[in-house]
Amino acid sequence: MSESKNSGPAVTSGPSLDISRRKLLGTVGAAGVAGVALGAAGGAAAYAAVEAPDSGTALTAVGATEVMFHGKHQAGITTPLQAGGHLIAFDLAPGAGRKEAAALLRRWSATAKSLMAGEPAGGTDTGVALDAGPCSLSVTFGFGHSFFDRTQLTDRRPVQLDPLPDFSSDQLDPQRSGGDLWVQIGADDALVAFHALRAIQQDAGSAAKVRWQMNGFNRAPGATKKPMTARNLMGQIDGTGNPKPSDADFEQRIFVPDTAQPAWMAGGSYAVVRRIRMLLNTWEKLPLPEQEKVIGRKKSDGSPLSGGTETTKMQLDKFGPDGKLVIPENAHARIAAPEQNGGAAMLRRAFSYHDGIAADGTPDAGLLFVCWQADPLKGFVPVQRKLDRGDALSAFLRHEASGLFAVPGGPKPGEYVGQRLLES
């Protein structure tokens, strides 16, 4: 299925492929087969394990779906949320400059193109994803503020990459923030995502070293009876108010226009990345009605407290029988609403994360927040400033890492990502 014109890389369900790892399932005993069948009740049997091992059953749509590498916009922006992914930042090695950066982006682009098509990553392929299809893999590349200093391209650095302002909820770790280069990887299979991560790391060679890496997840495709907006680790439906590609102003809100400067950013976008720890022990002690007042929406279905369904417009001026606003003045949904922020909007496309138990004995878990906009000074910054001043949800969050990256437009056939910057 192709996406609409100018909405970014197309997503297709590729041709059927044989699953050779089915041979492993042929050795499963009767008890094991029963377990697989029960787990698959109500849907396509997982690998149809009760069939003959050499029947050549085709991949499911989850495995066969391919995201196109080439396009007006890079993959991973309007691509539907994937089940898992990795965010990773690199710093160029000492002495590496524009020439080395161009060679690296050339290698990375060739690898991403192959992997996104479900093909091996050249002669150094690790074999981790053998037998798997593309699984909606997307690999997205961006440049940080410091990249332009390292490559002596400061005259081509966009003003939109100016450092983000400080916020009162920030407790940022500089070692897990920023970076010369940023890569976002997403896929609907964890092994496929990890395979891409290792390939990108190996391709970096001596040109760049990892600055930080974060690993995330979302609900797997098919886990719900019907497609639904994702939930975060607080149990809240997250992403209801996202701009949609069908919106008349979607392109101008999310992507840099062809006429903008610098010209190499045409068709690109700016990604704000925040590691936001959720104070789950505190949040989970809050009674459900109080949680809903903090958010401004019902936990069960995401509908606004003013009534309706998840997609019903909030009635921000509606009062209850007690004479109080039904959606409290400091409710997160109210403060973050575009109509409360001069129309400011961003495309949120996050992963959840869980990194075990922190030193204080609480879950080190939360949101790998990634948002996309044509200009972060008009998207993320005004909304976050307002949230910072009086959002009820802020008491349950801690911003621990931050990054801002310029993500150029998608490469044309024969181009590598960033070529219009590095070779102009």
Q: Give, in degrees to the nearest 5, the angle at Cα 24 between 21 and 28.
A: 145
Judged by DSSP in three states, 203 sits in helix
Q: Cα 322 to chain center, whole Å?
A: 41
Both tokens of residue 109?
Answer: 């682009």
Contact 142, 271 (CB under 8 A): yes
Which regions of 105-173 does DSSP assign to beta strands (E)?
A: 138-143
Cα–Cα distance measured from residue 224 to residue 231, given in angstroms and rounded to the nearest whole number: 12
**CB-based contacts of 318, cutoff 8 Å, min separation 6:** 306, 307, 325, 326, 327
| Residue 381 Cα distances to 110, 165, 348, angstroms | 34, 8, 14
Picking from 301, 286, 280, 292, the residue whose alpha carbon sits closest to that of residue 237 is: 301
Per annotation, catalytic residue among 238, 301, 317, 360: 238
Q: Judge whether 238 counts as a catalytic residue.
A: yes
Give 181's strand partners. 90, 143
Identify which of 336, 339, 331 has the alpha carbon closest to the alpha carbon of residue 393: 331
Q: Helix (H, G, I), strand (E, B), or coil: what is residue 295? A: helix
Catalytic residues: 238
